[in-house]
Structure 1
Amino acid sequence: MDLLPFAAAHASLVAGWPTHADEVVRWCGRREFPATARMVADWQGDDDVRAHVLVEDGNVVGYGEVWLDDEEDEAELARIIVAPGARGRGVGRVLVRELLGRALAAGFRDVFLRVHPDNEAALTCYRGAGFVTVDADLAASWNAAQPVDYVWLRNRTALSSR
């Protein structure tokens, strides 16, 4: 599998992957269903967002973003989703590890994820990719400005290099 830069031509495909409204909320926090290509394409307008697609045998099977925060010297992996037909076979874990590799290669040692609290499949995937839950006090402070109490995870690489 190869992690490639996102292109505008991928927006319609990726927007069609959420199968119901709750999945859109868990994926990106938005309430619109179905998701639209315009919504996905508009995310690319932020200079700090690096969007990627995971390609297997010529097919796009995953999408995710690396949000770079130079001011805080950290990165966040975000809006991660796997194509419905590719779920349940480790594609998400490969995608997360590849995105993490991009964040680390950019010089960020602290890499975080936030997960909707009822997204058990994502939590299992991220933990399997080497992420661990952050301290409860830190999560509470980050959730103070959020619409839900996300589960916040940090990559183990950052913890072991301290």
Structure 2
Amino acid sequence: MERLRLAPVDDAGRRLIEAWFEDPELARRLSPPDAAWWLLQHGTPGVELWLAWQGQEAVGYLQGEPDEHDPTTFHFAFAVRPDLRGRGYGRRMLQAMLEHPNLARFRRFVASVEPDNQASLRCLESQGFTPRSLEPDESGFLALGYARPGP
């Protein structure tokens, strides 16, 4: 199977992603990429924002940033294009993220997921992410982490 390519989101990509938020499930899980979001993402050092491409087709997106207290940890969120859910794109996006050269300096990766988002929890766990706690944090999210194997 062809590898997914991660490419930085430009303004056209932002509009593409924005259209995906017509899906109620996605809109419930993540903040839509409106103009304020766009300015924040592009004005924050270290933020990564990528579209995931299968050939010429955008299949999802990833966004993340370094932990403010631990520069070796990368916090991220991801979404598969709503009409493509359940086809393995989430797992492939995570794999592409972990292999991306821009993120080679990070040792740990953390995603925060609502406890009822079983699809994302299963996707993350299938790629070796493990819960950092069995209880949701003060915001109601479960944190799942992945640590790169040591040298």
**Identical positions, percent:** 24
Aligned-partner Cα distance in 1 for 2:83–2:13: 16
What is the 5 A alignment of 1:115-130?
Answer: 115-130=113-128
Aligned-partner Cα distance in 2 for 1:57–1:155: 28
TM-score by length of 2: 0.81
Local SS of the residue matching 2:63: strand
Question: Given the alignment of the two structures, is residue 41 of structure 1 paired with residue 41 of structure 2, yes or no?
Answer: no
Render the CA deviation track for 1:29-79: whole Å, top value 9, x for unaligned: xxxxxx45425523332112111111112011110113113641311122x
Question: Given the alignment of the two structures, is residue 25 of structure 1 paired with residue 28 of structure 2, yes or no?
Answer: yes
> Residue 81 of structure 1 contacts residue 92 of structure 1 at CA under 8 Å; is this kept in 2?
yes
**Unmatched segments (≥5 aa) in structure 2:** none
Q: 1:13 to 1:122 in 2, by over 3 A?
A: same
Render the CA deviation track for 1:9-28: whole Å, top value 9, x for unaligned: 111110121311x5323124
Which is further off, 93-102 or 8-17? 93-102
> Residue 6 of structure 2 contacts residue 52 of structure 2 at CA under 8 Å; is this kept in 1?
yes
Letter in 2 for 1:67: E
Aligned-partner Cα distance in 1 for 2:67–2:147: 19
Letter in 2 for 1:150: F
**Unmatched segments (≥5 aa) in structure 1:** 29-34
Aligned-partner Cα distance in 2 for 1:104–1:58: 22
Letter in 1 for 2:116: D
> Residue 2 of structure 1 contacts residue 54 of structure 1 at CA under 8 Å; is this kept in 2?
yes
Question: Given the alignment of the two structures, is residue 14 of structure 1 paired with residue 37 of structure 2, yes or no?
Answer: no
Match of 2:75 in 1: 76
Match of 1:62 in 2: 60
TM-score by length of 1: 0.77
Letter in 2 for 1:76: H
> Residue 63 of structure 1 contacts residue 82 of structure 1 at CA under 8 Å; is this kept in 2?
yes
> Residue 20 of structure 2 contacts residue 26 of structure 2 at CA under 8 Å; is this kept in 1?
no
Number of aligned residue pairs: 145
Question: Given the alignment of the two structures, is residue 88 of structure 1 paired with residue 86 of structure 2, yes or no?
Answer: yes
Local SS of the residue matching 1:47: coil
| Aligned-pair Cα RMSD in Å | 2.4
Higher helix share: 1
Local SS of the residue matching 1:16: helix
Q: 1:149 to 1:46 in 2, by over 3 A?
A: same
